[in-house]
Amino acid sequence: MKKIALIFGITGQDGSYLAKYLLKKNYVVHGVKRRSSSINTSRVDDIYLDPHKKTNFYLHYGDLTDSLSVLNIIKKVKPNEIYNLAAQSHVSVSFNVPEYTANVTAIGTLRILDAIFTLNLQKKTKFYQAGTSEMFGASKPPQNEKTNFYPRSPYGVAKVYAHWITVNYREAYNIFACNGILFNHESPMRGETFVTRKIVMALCRIYTSGKGRLYLGNIYSKRDWGHAEDYVVAMWKMMQQKKPNDYVISTGKQYTVKNFVNIVCKELKMKIVWKGRGLNEKAYYKNKLIISIDKKYFRTTEVNSLLGDSRKARKELKWRPKHNLRSLAKDMIIKEIKAINENKTR
Ligand code: NAP
Ligand code: G4F
């Protein structure tokens, strides 16, 4: 019998990589998508087949803010594994929509866990929660499973709730429920307003057209960036363990946002020159101003330094990343240039 997986957040970056990974492993994959005014399935269009034909991939309308849809989908699909990747996942935006972020990201997790319990699926259905290094927030790096949580945004706080409710349902109702505490991971599928994708998109445009300017916020914040393709493997491995547990997933290498800009420029063979300091720091390419700092991109409260210690996952899950930051940047650049060229020929 094929295993059945249900992915909340199938239309997002990680959802698309995980769906492809599980289909290769011969799973039947079901995903939950939200209704939107324009079609939001571009990341999974390449694996979507006409549901009237034989397929291992199904999409259902649902929303984490709607308990009825969550309960009904789980009741219908009766999955062996549920991956909760759905969230209002943008840290900066969570300051603008804090209540909504809590509803989706925190209470949405409770809705799934309680549906598993209510439907009496504890013995059948395993649960994965997409936790984040944002929960560590202001705690000193390096951060691991023993580090205290000190979130610095409504998003981070909502994820701390999701983490502990997952632990509680595991202990109270014996559900196989685990938390992956994943550090930043990126890819060509990354949302356009996260900093790595924003940088790659802007610099590739400047490189190909000679036009445009990139505005950034805090270029000295430090992140531990991995590739989403590597990180979905860790999610699956957590779900194959004998006992449910919580794991930090990271590369163990830290770079500033400015370092990332420099790596992308180097890959593109663009020689840039940085001048000035603070809000007046700027970068020039062929004597033209291409990067400026804009106060509006600074966070209300910032997480300055994230660096993961993933020794537990490396030992128990035998997981390690294949990509480094350079190969990640290269992958993002190649796909971006391809997209620019395809648009030109349309
Ligand atoms: P993403 O690209 O923003 O995807 C989020 C997904 O959640 C999308 O499919 C989105 O649907 C869906 N969603 C949002 N609100 C929903 C709602 N009310 N009901 C149902 N679905 C909803 O995020 P990602 O980068 O793939 O990350 C996946 C998960 O890992 C998220 O929970 C994120 O918080 C967490 N995480 C990410 C990172 C990272 O660096 N990427 C690190 C640690 C943890 P639409 O496509 O319709 O918007
Ligand atoms: O790319 P970011 O928006 O990612 P952030 O805030 O670290 O959150 C991401 O990773 C978390 C894991 O730690 C996930 F849980 C979360 O869902 C999301 O995927 O910003 C990275 C850094 C920040 O310090 C930000 O202040 O880049 C800095 N930054 C500088 N200029 C900018 C910009 N961030 C954005 N988005 N846009 C800028 O122009």
| Domain identity same for 66 and 28 | yes
DSSP 137: T
Tokens of 38: 């324009």
| Domain identity same for 140 and 201 | no
Rg of the chain on CA atoms, in Å: 20
Residues 223/266, Cβ–Cβ less than 8 Å: no
Q: Count of alpha carbons within 13 Å of 158, Cβ hemisphere only?
A: 26
CATH number at residue 277: 3.90.25.10
Reported pTM: 0.98
pLDDT at 52: 78
| Domain identity same for 160 and 204 | no
Which member of 81, 134, 267, 336 is catalytic? 134
| Domain identity same for 144 and 275 | no
| Domain identity same for 51 and 62 | yes
φ, ψ dihedrals at 281, nearest 5°: -70, 135
| Domain identity same for 82 and 204 | no
pLDDT digits (tens, 9 = 90+) for 309-322: 999 999 999 999 99
Q: Is-catalytic flag, 132?
A: yes
- Identify which of 260, 254, 286 has the alpha carbon closest to the alpha carbon of residue 273: 286
pLDDT at 346: 58
How far, in Å, from the CA of 272 to the mean position of ligand 1? 34
Q: Token pair 């290498």 is at which residue?
A: 253
pLDDT at 100: 98
How remote is the C-alpha of 58 from its chain's centroid? 22
User: How far from 81 is each of 112, 163, 218, CA to CA, in Å?
Assistant: 12, 18, 39
Taking the C-alpha atoms of residue 69 and residue 56, their distance in angstroms, rounded to an integer, is 21
Residues 332/188, Cβ–Cβ less than 8 Å: yes
Residues 11/43, Cβ–Cβ less than 8 Å: yes
84-100 burial, b at 16+ Cβ within 10 Å, e below that, comes to: bbbbbbbbbbbeeebee
| Domain identity same for 283 and 139 | no
Q: What is the mean predicted confidence (pLDDT) over 287-298?
A: 98
Taking the C-alpha atoms of residue 63 and residue 43, their distance in angstroms, rounded to an integer, is 18
| Domain identity same for 209 and 230 | no
Q: Point out the ligand 1 atom lying closest to the alpha carbon of residue 103.
A: 18
Q: What is the mean predicted confidence (pLDDT) over 85-111?
A: 98
| Domain identity same for 204 and 99 | no
Tokens of 320: 């390690």
pLDDT at 321: 98
CATH number at residue 64: 3.40.50.720
Taking the C-alpha atoms of residue 162 and residue 105, their distance in angstroms, rounded to an integer, is 7
Taking the C-alpha atoms of residue 77 and residue 32, their distance in angstroms, rounded to an integer, is 11
Does position 166 have pLDDT exceeding 80, yes or no?
yes
| Domain identity same for 271 and 183 | no
Residues 156/198, Cβ–Cβ less than 8 Å: no
Find the ligand nearest to 133 CA: 2
Does position 344 have pLDDT exceeding 80, yes or no?
no
pLDDT digits (tens, 9 = 90+) for 208-256: 999 999 999 999 999 999 999 999 999 999 999 999 999 999 999 999 9
| Domain identity same for 64 and 108 | yes
Residues 305/138, Cβ–Cβ less than 8 Å: no
pLDDT band at 345 (very low <50, low <70, confident <90, very high): low
pLDDT digits (tens, 9 = 90+) for 133-143: 999 999 999 99
pLDDT digits (tens, 9 = 90+) for 37-92: 999 999 999 998 777 778 899 999 999 999 999 999 999 999 999 999 999 999 99
How far, in Å, from the CA of 176 to the mean position of ligand 1? 22
pLDDT at 219: 98
pLDDT at 61: 98
Tokens of 252: 């163990």
pLDDT band at 145 (very low <50, low <70, confident <90, very high): very high
| Domain identity same for 175 and 285 | no
Q: Is-catalytic flag, 65?
A: no
CB atoms within 10 A of CB 104: 21
How far, in Å, from the CA of 343 to the mean position of ligand 1? 27
Taking the C-alpha atoms of residue 180 and residue 233, their distance in angstroms, rounded to an integer, is 11
% helix, strand, coil for the chain, step of 5? 40, 20, 40
Question: What is the residue-averaged pLDDT of the chain?
Answer: 97
- Residue 272: domain span: 195-220+256-303+330-345
Test site for ligand 1: of 10, 41, 59, 89, most ligand atoms within 8 A of the Cβ: 89
- What is the number of structural domains in the chain? 2
